[in-house]
Amino acid sequence: MTVEPHVDPTPAGRPALVLRPWDIGDIQPLVDIYRDPAVRKGTLLPITGVEDAARWLEIQWDGWRSGERFSFAVLEEDRLVANVAVKRGTGQGDCPEVGYWTSAEARGRGIAPRALQALTGWAFGTLDGVTRLDLLHQIDNVASCRVAEKTGYA
C-alpha cells in the first residue's frame, strides 16, 4: 500500500495536493497547526508540544502497520495543510470511516473536499472489500457539512 493519492492542480489555479503517510519531519508543523482552537476542538488527541506530536505520529504509523488506519498528511506546495484518514470498521459489518481536519490557512480554499475525494478513491481502489465509507465529521460545523456534500457523502 505504498501508492499515494495525488490531486492535480485545478483549472481555477489551485495548486496540486500531495497526500502521503506522515513522517518525522511533520512534528513541528503539527504543533503549529494544533495551536488553532478549531483543530483542537475536533480532536481526541490534543497536540500541545513536540512530545504529543511524536506520540500522535506513532499512532498513525501503528495504524499503517496494523492495516486498521491509514492517515495521510496533505501537502500543498510542500506545506502541510490537512490530514485525511480512513479507519477500518471494528465490528462485523462495520464499514470504514473517513475523517479529516484542515489547518486554519487551508480552510475555505477547497482543500478538504479535494483531499477527501482523493482519499475516497484511494480507499475504494486499494482496500480489499470496501464497498462503502462513512464520513466522520462535526455536524454542527457548517463548513464540514459542505465538504461532505461536495464529496458526495450523505
Its domain, for residue 146, covers 16-150
Q: Is residue 59 part of a domain?
A: yes
Question: 110 near 13, Cβ under 8 Å?
Answer: no
Count of domains observed in the chain: 1
CATH of the domain at 32: 3.40.630.30
Which residue type, as a one-letter code, is found at position 58?
E
Q: Is residue 11 part of a domain?
A: no
Q: Is residue 136 part of a domain?
A: yes
Q: Is residue 10 part of a domain?
A: no
Quote the pLDDT of residue 114.
92
What is residue 52's three-state secondary structure?
A: helix
pLDDT tens-place string over residues 115-150:
999 999 999 999 888 889 998 777 788 888 888 888
Q: Is residue 5 part of a domain?
A: no
Quote the pLDDT of residue 137.
76
Query: pTM here?
Result: 0.87
Residue 80: exposed, middle, or buried by beta-carbon count in 10 A (0-12, 13-18, 19+)?
Answer: buried
Cell of 37: 482552537
**Which of the four pLDDT bands, split at 50, 70 and 90, describes residue 15?**
confident
Q: CA–CA separation, 143 vs 148, rounded Å? A: 9
